[in-house]
Amino acid sequence: MKAARSAHRNIQTAPARCADILESSLQGLGFGRVIRHLALLRAWDRAIAGRIKERASVEDFRNGCLYLCVEDPIWMHELHMLRHQLKTILNKEVGEPAVNEIVLRIGRPRQYSTPQPSYRRRQRIPAVSPAVEAGMVTLLSPLRDLPCCDAIQRLFQRWASR
């Protein structure tokens, strides 16, 4: 009986990646849909041509269905003809088959603007040494494609500057 317990204790498991822990924690908190939506918005901004983004915007993303709002019927027809290419481009940019279908609606596309500065003054984060900066880059490299990577990097910089 003791031998079985000691053999069980000696079994070592591989360490979990920080990105996997963070992703499962956020999924457990119910942020999975939000993360997928943000990743898709990021892919839309990076991969889709400016002339399309001027006339169409992402309205929602649910259950693999991407809802786009288009400014007029002519562009709706154009994007209807391009929907398979758009789906392929977005799935390639996201890195997984996230978009199964694209639904087009006529309306006024949202114009996403840069966030307005808050009334609160932002504190300047003191610079950290190059060695610490290199360590943070190495540590955050698995999280590079996640939407929350910038926030985690700022958090690490604040911690390291203390």
pLDDT digits (tens, 9 = 90+) for 51-80: 888 888 888 888 889 899 998 888 899 999
Asked if residue 160 lies in contact with residue 132, where contact means CB atoms within 8 angstroms, the answer is yes
Strand intervals (E) in the chain: 56-62, 65-70, 101-106
pLDDT (tens digit, 9 = 90+) per residue, 70-124?
Answer: 988 888 999 999 999 999 998 898 888 888 999 999 887 766 544 444 444 556 6
Residue 36 has pLDDT above 90, yes or no: no
* Position 157 pLDDT exceeds 90: no
Sorted by where each begins, the domain ranges of the chain are 26-106, 130-160
Task: State the average pLDDT over residues 38-54.
Answer: 85
The domain made up of 26-106 has a fold known as GMP Synthetase; Chain A, domain 3 (3.30.300)
Please tell me the number of Cα atoms within 13 Å of 24 on its side-chain side: 5
Per-residue pLDDT of 132-141, as tens digits, reads 778 778 877 8
Residue 29 near residue 88, CB atoms below 8 Å: no
Q: Where is pLDDT greater, at 100 or 154?
A: 100
Closest CA relative to residue 108, chosen from 57, 49, 44, 40: 57
